[in-house]
Amino acid sequence: MTTSSFGRHQQENVSSNIRGLKQTFNTLEQYYIVARFVFDR
């Protein structure tokens, strides 16, 4: 395996990790909004 292909693979891993983090934050944000809505009554 050459270094360039290894670097490209690392970049793909990082971008997919960032995508996963964004999805997690979106889910947490939705839960937070719902919880605030429920507990504010």
Q: Predicted confidence band at 40 (pLDDT cuts at 50, 70, 90)?
A: confident
Between 2 and 8, the higher pLDDT residue = 8
| Backbone phi, psi, residue 31, to 5° | -60, -40
Q: pLDDT (tens digit, 9 = 90+) per residue, 17-39? A: 999 999 999 999 999 999 999 99
Instruction: Kindly tell me if the per-residue pLDDT of 2 is higher than 90.
Output: no
Q: Predicted confidence band at 11 (pLDDT cuts at 50, 70, 90)?
A: confident
Between 7 and 38, the higher pLDDT residue = 38
Distance CA 12, CA 41 (A): 45
Q: How far is CA 36 from CA 4, 8, 27, in A?
A: 48, 42, 14
Q: Where are the domains of the chain?
A: 1-41
